[in-house]
């Protein structure tokens, strides 16, 4: 018996690229049945995105493979009368409808919230967009980088010399997807009490600004705008990236006790009695001088030795790893974070995909099948062979 929390929940997924597919991937890992509804003959735009041209050409680009394991795929053209009938049949039995079109696009196809709610009063309808369903920016196209810039995120990423910089992965897409998944789970809980569905309007801009937390709230409270500080932590010192003998080392000695232990272990007890570093506020003011003294001591040993010594004594410290190094961490292997699956369309090749860091009753959440080929589940849901499709080009792709 499947004991995952969303077992028995059916999600119709109209989304493309990342924010929406990332949301539905989280729902799938939590146990939901996710049915991707894709443009006939073309499918999710991410099918053609990734570093391997051959996979992109085959419609199984790496960007698609990363977020779509465990889902099913059917092809429907919502401008075709037969496909609309099939879609409405699926809607009648669905728990969630997820889309990331530009605001108002689904309504213009005839499926606004009033229609959806009439077809299925228990349906939870979640729309992810760059800026939300209303407001002066609601019709603007949005991708992750656009949101990173507008949210203020890029303005505080990097150093004073290098900012603004884009965060090195599509963080706004991911945050938008997580907020949508959280909201859907909350709506499902609410429906168990009320019996009726709700319309969820998720703005990537607002979700990203919310996730920026202290950077935004400190300004709202103090009126002092945040500034780019590179790898340093604005709230504490010593807290940032330092220089070990063989490379960088992150240390976050944010508490007084941690600072004192750090100084003892690097052989610099004298720093704890220096009035420039006596307390948190003094250390922040004299951060540059303090970092210089700590770096001088840290250069005597390699980063891994310091990581083990400091972390073992309760001082947060760790090396800075590359992605290839991170995926080989024994911690991830023992936790079962990755799942190996048959490669779609090539059973002789293996595909490794991420989990989400959640264990249920001691077991990691895993996809049970590889990402689907386009239209792979048409027959299962009695979808006819698609004709040449004419579909909207008004898709936003957050």
> Tokens in use for 346?
């090539």
Which candidate, 223, 217, 243, 214, places its Cα nearest to that of 231? 243
Cite the active site residues: 173
Domain check: are 22 and 154 in the same one?
yes
Q: Specify whether 30 is located in the same domain as 102.
A: yes
Residue 221 inside a domain? The answer is no
205 and 259, same domain (yes or no): no
Q: Is residue 322 part of a domain?
A: no
Tell me if the pTM is above 0.85.
yes
> Does one domain contain both 68 and 180?
yes
Which CATH number goes with the domain that contains 107?
3.40.50.10540
- Asked if 184 and 279 sit in the same domain, the reply is no
**Which residues on adjacent β-strands are paired with residue 75?**
38
| Phi and psi at residue 74, to the nearest 5° | -130, 150
Same domain, residue pair 341 and 304:
no
Same domain as 132, residue 22: yes
Domain that holds residue 15: 10-211+335-364
Residue 235 included in any domain: no
- Domain-embedded: residue 323: no
- Spatial distance between the Cα atoms of 161 and 344, rounded to a whole number of angstroms: 45
Cα-trace Rg, the chain: 25
192 three-class SS: helix
Angle between helices 204-211 and 171-194 (to 10 degrees): 100
* CATH code of residue 282: 3.30.1540.10
Instruction: Give me the tens of pLDDT residue by residue for the chain, a chain 398 residues long.
Output: 588 999 999 999 999 999 999 999 999 999 999 999 999 999 999 999 999 999 999 999 999 999 999 999 999 999 999 999 999 999 999 999 999 999 999 999 999 999 999 999 999 999 999 999 999 999 999 999 999 999 999 999 999 999 999 999 999 999 999 999 999 999 999 999 999 999 999 999 999 999 998 899 999 999 999 999 999 999 999 999 999 999 999 999 999 999 999 999 999 999 999 999 999 999 999 999 999 999 999 999 999 999 999 999 999 999 999 999 999 999 999 999 999 999 998 888 999 999 999 999 999 999 999 999 999 999 999 886 544 333 333 444 45
Q: Two tokens at 122?
A: 């228990």
Tokens of 337: 């974070």
Same domain, 155 and 277: no
Q: Are 107 and 37 found together in one domain?
A: yes
Domain co-membership, 347 together with 278: no
**Number of domains the chain is built from:** 2
**In a domain? residue 375:** no
| Residue 77 in domain | yes
Closest CA to 37 of 83, 5, 103: 83
Please report whether residue 269 resides in a domain: yes
| CA atoms of 308 and 316, how far apart (whole Å) | 10
Co-location of 31 and 169 in the same domain = yes
**Cα(65)–Cα(51) distance, rounded to whole angstroms?**
12
In a domain, 182, yes or no: yes
pLDDT of residue 1: 53
122 and 151 in a single domain? The answer is: yes
């Amino acid at each position: 018996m499947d004991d995952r929390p969303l077992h028995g929940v059916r999600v119709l997924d109209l989304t493309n690229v990342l924010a929406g597919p990332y949301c539905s991937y989280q729902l799938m890992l939590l146990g939901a049945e996710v049915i991707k509804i894709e443009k006939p003959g073309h499918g999710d735009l991410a099918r053609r995105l990734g570093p391997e041209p051959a996979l992109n050409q085959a419609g199984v680009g790496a960007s698609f493979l990363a977020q779509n394991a465990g889902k099913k795929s059917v092809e429907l053209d919502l401008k075709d009368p037969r496909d609309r009938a099939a879609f409405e049949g699926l809607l009648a039995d669905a728990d969630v409808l997820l889309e990331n079109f530009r605001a108002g696009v689904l309504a213009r196809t005839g499926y606004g919230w009033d229609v959806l709610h009439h077809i299925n009063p228990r349906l939870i309808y979640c729309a992810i967009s760059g800026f939300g369903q209303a407001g002066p920016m609601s019709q603007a196209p949005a991708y992750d980088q656009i949101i990173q810039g507008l949210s203020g995120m890029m303005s505080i990423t990097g150093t004073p010399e290098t900012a603004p910089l884009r965060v090195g992965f599509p963080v706004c897409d991911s945050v938008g997807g997580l907020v949508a998944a959280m909201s859907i789970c909350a709506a499902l809980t609410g429906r168990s009490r009320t019996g009726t569905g709700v319309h969820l309007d998720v703005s990537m801009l607002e979700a990203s600004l919310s996730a920026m937390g202290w950077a935004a709230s400190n300004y709202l409270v103090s009126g002092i705008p945040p500034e780019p500080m590179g790898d340093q932590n604005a709230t504490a010192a010593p807290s940032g990236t330092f220089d070990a003998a063989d490379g960088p080392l992150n240390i976050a000695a944010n508490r007084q006790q941690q600072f004192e232990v750090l100084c003892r272990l690097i052989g610099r007890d004298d720093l704890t009695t220096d009035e420039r570093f006596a307390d948190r506020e003094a250390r922040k003011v004299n951060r540059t001088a303090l970092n210089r003294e700590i770096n001088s001591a840290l250069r005597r040993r390699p980063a891994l030795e310091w990581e083990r010594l400091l972390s073992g004594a309760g001082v947060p410290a760790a090396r800075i790893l590359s992605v290839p190094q991170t995926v080989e961490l024994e911690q991830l292997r023992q936790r079962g974070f990755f799942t190996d699956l048959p490669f779609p369309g090539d059973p002789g090749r293996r595909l490794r995909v991420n989990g989400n860091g959640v264990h249920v009753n001691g077991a990691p959440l895993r996809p049970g099948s590889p990402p689907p080929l386009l239209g792979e589940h048409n027959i299962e849901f009695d979808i006819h062979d698609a004709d040449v499709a004419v579909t909207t080009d008004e898709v936003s792709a957050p």
